[in-house]
Amino acid sequence: MNWSNESPSDTCRFKELHDTFKENMINHNLEQMVKIPTRNNNILDLFLTNIPSQVHETKTLPGLGTSDYDIVFHEIKVNRGNIKQIHR
The region, left, alpha or beta by phi > 0 then psi within -120 to 50, assigned to residue 59 is beta
Domain ranges of the chain: 15-76
Average pLDDT of the residues of the chain = 87
The predicted model scores a pTM of 0.72
Please report the DSSP string for 50-67 in residue order: S-GGGEEEEEEEPPSTT-
Q: What is the pLDDT of residue 13?
A: 87
Does residue 27 surpass a pLDDT of 90? yes
Residue 29 pLDDT grade (very low, low, confident, very high; cuts 50, 70, 90): very high
DSSP run (H or E) holding 4? none
Residue 30 half-sphere exposure, CB side, CA atoms within 13 Å?
Answer: 15
pLDDT in tens, 32-51: 999 888 888 888 888 999 99
